[in-house]
A and B are shown apart, each in its own frame.
Chain A
Amino acid sequence: MGTQRYVLGKIFQAFLTLFFILTFNFFLFRVIPGDPVALLTKTSGVELSGEQQQQLRDDLGLLDPLPTQYVGYIADTFRGDLGVSTFVEPGEQVSTVFFRDLPKTLVLVGTSTIASVALGLVLGAYGGWRRGRALDLSAMSGSLILYSMPEFVLGILFLLLFTKYLHLFPSGGYKSVTGNATGLAYIADVLNHLFLPWITLTLAYVGEYYLVMRSSLLDVMGEEYISLARAKGLRDKLVLRHHAARNALLPTVTLIALSFGFVLGGAITVELVFSYPGIGKLSFDALRKHDFPVLQGTFLVFSLAVLVANLIADVLYGYLDPRVRSSA
């Protein structure tokens, strides 16, 4: 019963935040200097008479009072209508463009996040447990360097090393331009293109998760139940696995979810480095070409992703820590 109420509470909070995000997104794009129709005609070079421009404004709903526009925007968004792209894919529905690009980003960010979280947490637990030993010291210095390195710098480094000098991987894209391979060959081709951006994003965040888990484990190690577990005569490995690591995991869940916003930021630059055609590259193109509907959409999608990540973390936290459930 407690669990259900806790989860429902979190979902309600997430909806509240979603509402804030939508409102924020709506007003953000209302303060853009310049009239969208004037901008559209100026940059596309299509001559429109004053009457036609006015007609276009009316069609786009720009003449309606702000509250009407706002309600319309919310309703459209929930229907999945994100407007029409102006310059990146002129005339195309933004949602269609997303359907094409979002899966690529999901695969890239999803798998690399799982890999870096798993690697960082396991290494961090061992490093903290054997604080100051060789493993900890080397992992610690590696983590600090990776933490200090922008994702795109790591990407450029790999691009130079593996593509320019070793010719091991393609320089970018999602699949070979010429190849029309099918079946297994197609999958191999896609994986071949995915590898460099994937390893870049994975390594870029391992360091952070290592540091988080290590410090969390160090916090736990002073606790009395660890001393008790040891006094019981439990083997060192079991103390770590059953007592220390489990409790140390708790605070990292929230921190990892919060870092997800940064991971997405990293994905934008990494997709750019490897010209990987996902949402990150799309938002960069939209930025270059001042395609505001696409930009508004990508912002919504990114915020939504972080929101969902945090919701998952909250629910997971409730599941991992019984104390949260009973107090909720």
Chain B
Amino acid sequence: MKTEELQEQPQPEPGPLPELRSPRQITWTRRRLALSRFWSRYRRSPMGVAGLVILLIFGATAILSIFADQSTLSKVAVTEADIAPCTFRELPCPPNANNILGTDADGRSVFWLVVHGARMSLLVGLVASVITMVIGSLVGIVAGFVGRFSDTVLMRMADFLLVIPWLALAIVLASIFGQNIWVVIGIIGFTSWPGAARLIRAQTLSVKEHLYVERSKALGAGSWYVISRHILPNVMPIILANAILVVAIAILSESALSFLGLGDPLRVTWGTIIEEAFSRGATSIGAWWWLLTPSFCIVTVVLGFTMVGYALDEIINPRIRER
């Protein structure tokens, strides 16, 4: 039998409810109502909506870039016609009618570099965030729910990783494991879970104390049942909101690693574009378009994720909402 009904505190939306027949139907109606209630709240947050718009634009760019001409990534200028109105000696070419965002020192269009860079930068951010949240949730829930010895061991590990300066560790790991995109993703994912684990552990501890969990246990529910039916649904919103914020941090982390030259030499991300521009002296020639276009993208996307994360947090976290 389902015990989920007990945890439903929010009042149903006013207005006529559809006629309910099966428990399954009840569940789905409840979920639909919860979702529409959530959306109507989210819509009222200007920060959340602005962030969402930013993410949609960049997300669409990243997806569409798959279908764009991939050769723009490797195509260096061969003849001066490729880079008109500039000449070879004038490279990197400032923004002009042919290349609205100018070119890099090899005559490649900065616009196309940045468009293709969006794909990798977002991918690294998303995958690293998923790894972080999977480890963080697992550790947090086990530590919070099982408690005792596992709690002590897991939280000691988390505390230990928290005091390790991540970039110094990343430098060491990257110099040991080499440079490719999966190493970068792995480094970010495996070094950033402690924060998430702590948060989720705290939430698990508070959910565990609820009466319905006690009741469920009294009726003979096993650990797995309680975790999947009671703990996880209650911890999930926090996991999701945090995952969004972690994407922002992961994108920042990737850019820092790439800037130090630890990125994948075979893939273009916004970080590697800045690294190449900087190491080839773009600051001293004043090739601002080459440096600032990818920088602008990083800042905007991170801002987008942060704003969405904050907006979600404000809706989910009732303590903030009440004020």
A residues touching B (Cβ–Cβ < 8 Å)? 17, 20-21, 24, 28-29, 31-33, 144-145, 147-153, 156-157, 159-160, 163-165, 171, 218-219, 221-222, 258, 260-262, 264-265, 268-269, 272-273, 283-284, 287-288, 290, 292, 295-296, 298-299, 302-303, 305-307, 310
Contacts and interface: CB of A to CB of B under 8 A. Distances in A.
B256 A150 contact: yes
Contacts of B288: 160
B303 A145 contact: yes
Interface string B161-199: 011111111011011100000000000000000000000
B192 to A, nearest CB: 11
Contact of B167 (A157, A221, A265): A265
Contact of A160 (B172, B259, B286, B306): B286
Given A148-B303, A160-B288, 19 more contacts: A17-B159, A17-B160, A20-B160, A21-B160, A144-B303, A148-B300, A148-B306, A149-B299, A150-B256, A150-B295, A152-B259, A156-B274, A156-B283, A218-B323, A283-B171, A287-B175, A287-B261, A288-B261, A303-B163
Nearest to B294: A153
Contact of B165 (A222, A261, A296): A261
B55 interface: no
Interface in B273-291: 274, 278, 283-284, 286, 288, 291
B306 A147 contact: yes
Contact of B172 (A28, A152, A221): A28
B307 A144 contact: yes
Contact of A156 (B174, B261, B291): B291
- Interface of chain B, helix or strand or loop or mixed? helix
Interface string B63-97: 00000000000000000000000000000000000
B175 A310 contact: no
Nearest to B164: A303
B303 A302 contact: no
B252 interface: yes
Contact of A272 (B248, B260, B286, B322): B260
Contacts of B167: 262, 264-265, 268-269
Contacts, number: 139
A159 B303 CA distance: 23
A280 to B, nearest CB: 9
B256 A265 contact: yes
A269 B260 contact: yes
A156 B159 CA distance: 34
Contacts of A269: 167, 256, 259-260
Contact of B284 (A153, A164, A262): A164
B298 interface: yes
Contact of A21 (B164, B261, B292): B164
Nearest to A292: B175
B176 to A, nearest CB: 5
A165 B286 CA distance: 8
Contact of A306 (B164, B278, B307): B164
A160 B288 CA distance: 7
Contacts of B283: 156, 159-160, 163-164, 171
A199 B18 CA distance: 61
A287 B171 contact: yes
A258 B165 CA distance: 9
Contacts of B162: 258, 261
Nearest to B51: A144
B132 interface: no
